[in-house]
Amino acid sequence: MIDNYGRNIDYLRISVTDLCNLRCVYCMPEGGVEKLRHGDILSVEEIAEISAAAASLGIKKIRLTGGEPLVRKGIMDIVRRTSRTPGVNEVALTTNGTLLAENAAALKEAGLTRVNISVDTFDPGKYKEITRGGKIGDVLAGIRAAVDAGLEPIKLNAVLMGGVNDDFIRPLIAMTDDADFRVRFIEIMPIGECADWNKERFVSIAKVLEAEPSLEYAGTDGVSKLYRKPGSKGSIGLISPISNHFCPTCNKLRVTADGKLKPCLHSAEEIQIRGLHGEELAETIRMAILSKPFKHALAGERRSRSRRGMSAIGG
Ligand code: SAM
Ligand code: SF4
């Protein structure tokens, strides 16, 4: 469906849980988040119903996220139901990859098309520090399992933190040398846990081009500017929500784990859709699409107005 600014809204991100098995310093409080009661989380049936209503309005792609979607009980059913929704031609998953080794084949079997894996460093010590306890070996095993299961092309996403993982730019780019990995560097956004970090930690993705000057511009892909290292098999995407916000091409709508629609990631606006069915549900989603703002708050104020952090929205 076309919104008030001519954007075709065809992409729905659904957070299936706000819980996670990691505690990334920029995303989750060290003690985790207060667990929502089971009844406060959208059920598999509700997720299927929302997906169908959204698809009737032109949503074609669904991304399941969280928190960590692979800690959600019933994730295979959710993949199965959303991927069989008439009108939906792609169901992808964003994950930290630590539980992928044991789940990749079943996810593929359930109907998952692709997977995005978040990894901010390959250094075991640094990974443990950034994620407050995670093991990089689990992620590497997850990446291998995703390749073996055919969940390709695989996107590897890294958020850049000044003075923390600047040294990861070249190793991550090297992943594209011999395989078709789609590496993406993302500017960290001042939201939730890192809203008050000092500005040296927020580095521009221009740093990637400084670190690897051989990269050649190769066009755009949704919100990323694409580059390639000459002779490589994969690609590099640079995503700059801050230094060059991509709101004019934003095609997304988000649903939180407790059933609120967020027309914009950085806006405080949330629309309750839990408990709505049939025509009323579809009409509310339609109105949410029409209420999408032209641009997000970071573009002007450099501060998110969202009342939730990324783990509670779905990234
Ligand atoms: N747990 C899954 C994962 O880590 O991929 C899915 C949820 S996580 C919230 C989705 C994405 O949001 C991750 O790639 C994470 O790096 C990113 N993210 C979290 N906080 C962020 C922030 N403040 N700025 C930019 N990206 C952020
Ligand atoms: Fe968990 Fe993903 Fe947030 Fe890290 S970025 S704490 S893996 S939800």
Q: Assess contact for 71 and 17: CB atoms under 8 A.
A: yes
pLDDT of the chain, 315 residues: tens digit per residue? 898 888 999 999 999 999 999 999 999 988 877 777 778 899 999 999 999 999 999 999 999 999 999 999 999 999 999 999 999 999 999 999 999 999 999 999 999 999 999 999 999 999 999 999 999 999 999 999 999 999 999 999 999 999 999 999 999 999 999 999 999 999 998 888 888 888 888 889 999 999 999 999 999 887 889 999 999 999 999 998 877 667 888 899 999 999 999 988 878 889 999 999 999 999 999 999 998 887 766 655 556 777 667 777 766
Q: Tell which atom from ligand 2 comes closest to the C-alpha of 94.
A: 2
CA of 229 to the centre of ligand 1 (A): 25
pLDDT at 14: 97
Residue with tokens 């706000």: 18
Ligand nearest to the CA of 117: 1
130 lines ligand 1 (CB under 6 A): no
Distance CA 266, CA 306 (A): 5
Task: Break the chain into its structural domains and give their ranges.
Answer: 11-312
pLDDT at 162: 92
What's the topology of domain 11-312?
TIM Barrel (3.20.20)
**Ligand 2 probe mutation, 68, 119, 139, most atoms within 8 A of CB:** 68
Ligand nearest to the CA of 202: 1
Distance CA 69, CA 116 (A): 12
Query: What order do you get walking across the sheet with 182-187 strand by strand?
Result: 216-221, 224-228, 235-239, 182-187, 155-160, 114-118, 90-95, 61-65, 11-15, 252-255, 260-262, 271-272
165 lines ligand 1 (CB under 6 A): no
Which residue type, as a one-letter code, is found at position 206?
Answer: A
Q: Assess contact for 13 and 146: CB atoms under 8 A.
A: no
Exposed, middle or buried by CB within 10 Å (0-12, 13-18, 19+), for 6?
Answer: exposed
Ligand 2 residue neighbourhood (C-beta within 6 Å): 20, 22-24, 27-28, 66-68, 96, 118, 311
Distance CA 234, CA 53 (A): 36
CA of 203 to the centre of ligand 1 (A): 16
pLDDT at 244: 67
pLDDT at 314: 67
